[in-house]
Amino acid sequence: MNIVIVGGGTVGSAICAQLALEDHDVTIVDADPDSLAEIANSCDVFGVVGNGAELSVLRKAGAENAELLIAVSPDDEINILCCAAAKKLGTSHTVARVRNPEYTELMRLLQSEMNLSFTINPELAAAKEIYRLLRFPSAAKIDTFCHGKVELAEITVAADSPLCGLTLIDLRKKLSTRFLVCGVLRDGEAYIPAGDFLIRAGDTIGVTAPDKEIAKFFKEIGVYKNPIKNVLIVGGGRTTYYLEQMLKEGKIKSTVVERDAELCEELANDYRDCTVICDNGTRQETLLEAGIDRADAFLALSDVDEENAIISMYAKTREVSKIITMISRISYVDFFKSAGLESIVSPRSSTASYILRYVRSMANSADSSAIESLHKIMNDRIEALELSVKDDIPELTNLPLKRLRPRAGVLIACIVRGGDVIIPGGDDCITKGDSVIIMSTGNRINSLKDII
């Protein structure tokens, strides 16, 4: 596909690198010639210096013949404008990153009129991810599939865990919950495990289960944490603003520490049940006075990654039950996880995953299956995809799974049929109308046919 990316920041460069790896023809546009040259050279793509909202720049980038334009510059207005202009020039599809909460309702109303294929809001996506972690505090990370019917939880196995020394077959026999261990991260390597895989301390395991049974799974393995009732948040930016609405609906009390008086006033006015403290959240005295020792969860959501990491480490010394850290720079995520921060949320990484899913769906729009969700799990080393089966596929559908020959590093983790969640065995079949969740290491899955 011919794809134009406007904006060479962290998100733009991450999307560019992934799309170039998947053999798309990518052109990237940015006003900074130095950063543009670095991206163009490292990803082996064509770069155009300039403002993506200018018609001459868009023409030079090939917008007239592009199948997709992705606008992820720091400026919402520029993103919206260049998408509208690109569509007029002939670009088939456009995607804009729009972050301002004030534009949320407006974009929903004007999306079709402005010729936007869809918009993405990184901070809103991050807030949703954080709220899922607050609902299931036992998990280091949790993703959902099939409109919430299936949960995929990541859990780090402690040294005293009853899971240590068990094979996956033994674990299935021991527990009454319907679940599947679909991935394991060990010493930086990701595995799609077989039944004889032996669980060790320090492993991070990925577990799929029906949404109504995931809490039961946590209880049976002895890691269940009580529901979160109050949280302490450092940082009052956009992510916190979106999160507060969810906390209000979930009846979770919150205290926000933010040093910017204007942001404090906005939060206090819009969320009367939220306690807002205008102070420096990196000070230990401030955190103690704000009630860090009484909080069920601590959220570091400031705009500075290093500050978020440091205060999260301090929260660990105070033995806060659940700690969630927002890290914007994708390159920092692995480093801070190795430093002991378990639940890390990256708005930019989520944005890249959303756009990658859309691109793959576009590339295979005429196929008999379609990508509905795409998540990167196990430190981005395993792809988890939800595929909807639109038509019968002779070599795949209506055949017992034990007769299929999946590619190495591919696992059928779950089948959803109507309202039923099936943890598949060898005698189960994939049928037309199903949603199928696939795990893959190293293999790019664009459609269901790619698994065999």
CB 69 within 8 Å of CB 102 = no
CATH of domain 229-320: 3.40.50.720
What is the reported pLDDT for 366? 57
> How many C-beta neighbours within 10 Å does residue 397 have?
18
Describe the strand order of the beta sheet including 189-191 as a list of residue ranges. 141-145, 150-156, 204-210, 180-186, 189-191
Q: Which two tokens stand for residue 363?
A: 């590339």
Say yes or no: do domains 2-120 and 229-320 share a fold. yes
Residue 115: the pLDDT is 63
Q: Flag residues of the chain having pLDDT under 50.
A: none
* CB count in 10 Å sphere of residue 311: 26
Kindly list the domain boundaries of the chain, sorted by start residue.
2-120, 229-320, 354-451
Q: Cα(333)–Cα(346) distance, rounded to whole angstroms? A: 8
CA angle 218, 332, 291 (to 5 degrees): 55
Q: Provide the β-strand partners of residue 185.
A: 190, 204
The CATH architecture annotation of domain 354-451 reads 2-Layer Sandwich (3.30)
N- to C-terminal Cα distance for the chain? 24
pTM of the predicted model as reported, rounded to 2 decimal places: 0.87
Residue type, 342: E
Please state which architecture CATH assigns to domain 2-120: 3-Layer(aba) Sandwich (3.40)
Q: Which tokens go with 405?
A: 């020959």
CA-atom Rg of the chain in angstroms: 23
List the one residue out of 438, 452, 444, 433 whose CA is nearest residue 368. Answer: 433
| pLDDT score, position 113 | 64
Angle, CA of 318, 321 and 322, to the nearest 5°: 110
Distance CA 207, CA 83 (A): 39
Closest by alpha carbon to 334, among 187, 222, 447? 187
